[in-house]
Amino acid sequence: MKMTSLRLLLWCFSGVITRNHCLPPIGTQPEQVHISYPGLKNSMLITWSSANETESVVEYGVWGGKLFTHSAKGTESVFVNEGVEQRVMFIHRVLLSNLTPGASYVYHCGSSFGWSDIFFFSALNESVFFSPRFALFGDLGNENPQSLSRLQKDTQMGMYDIILHIGKMLCLRNGVNMIIFPAMDW
C-alpha cells in the first residue's frame, strides 16, 4: 500500500500529469454575481457570468449555522455581446427554493473550478407585520460611484430590505464593445 501511494506521489510530481489536469480552466471564476426575487414564494434567484462554460452551482446555508449545508444546480446560457468583438459570455442562473421566510442565508456560487466571494441575503419575510424598507436607484455610477458605494454600505448596515434597480445594466469597453444586460434577462 505504501509503495502504491509513493508511486502516485512521484507520478504527480514527475510531470506525468500535465498542466491541463492540475489547473482549472481560465475564465470559469464567477463574475457579476446578482441576486433577485423571482416572484416564487420562498425562493431567490442567483445569477452570474463567466468567460467560459462551467457548472452552475450555489452552495448555501442559514446564517449563523454551518456554512453551505445546501446545494442547488441551475442552468447556463450563452450571451454574445453586440460589440465589434462579438465576445461570448456564459450566464448562470440557479434558483434557491424552500427558503425559510425571513431567515438570513450565506452563499457562494460557481463550481469546483472557482467560487465567488461569500455573500448573504434574507429570504422574503411573509409576516403581516413586516414593513419592508426599500431603496430605488437607476444608475450604477461606474464613473461617479457615489450612489453605488452608499447603497453597498447602507445595505451592509441593514438599512434596506429590498433594493430595486430600474433600467439597464450597461458595460462600455472603450466605447466599442458594449454589453447590455436588460433587466428582464437577469
92 to 53, 82, 148, 167: CA distances (angstroms):
9, 19, 24, 21
Tell me what the mean pLDDT of segment 87-94 comes to.
92
State CA 56 to chain mean position distance: 9
Residue-wise pLDDT tens digits, 77-89: 998 877 788 888 9
Instruction: Give the DSSP letter string of 110-149.
Output: EETTEE---EEEEPPP--TT--PPEEEE----SSSTHHHH
pTM: 0.74
Dihedral Cα 79, 83, 86, 89, nearest 10 deg:
-30
15-29, 67-81, 118-132, 137-151: lowest mean pLDDT where? 15-29
pLDDT value at position 156? Answer: 86
Ranges of each domain in the chain: 24-185
Instruction: Give just the sign of the alpha carbon dihedral 74, 52, 182, 155.
Output: positive
Given a contact cutoff of 8 angstroms between Cβ atoms, the answer to whether 139 and 147 are in contact is yes
Give the whole-angstrom CA distance, residue 45 versus residue 8.
42
Least confident range of 48-57, 93-102, 122-131, 176-185? 176-185
Would you state the pLDDT for residue 138? 77
pLDDT band of 106, cuts 50, 70, 90 = very high
Residue 52 in grid coordinates: 467560459
Sort 135 into a burial class: Cβ within 10 Å, 0-12 / 13-18 / 19+: middle
Q: Which three cell numbers stand for residue 25?
A: 480552466
Residue 51 confidence (pLDDT) above 50 = yes
Percentage of the residues of the chain whose pLDDT score is greater than 90: 45
pLDDT at residue number 4: 42
The CATH code of domain 24-185 reads 2.60.40.380
Instruction: Find the range with the poorest average confidence among 39-43, 110-114, 170-174.
Output: 170-174
pLDDT value of residue 164 = 84
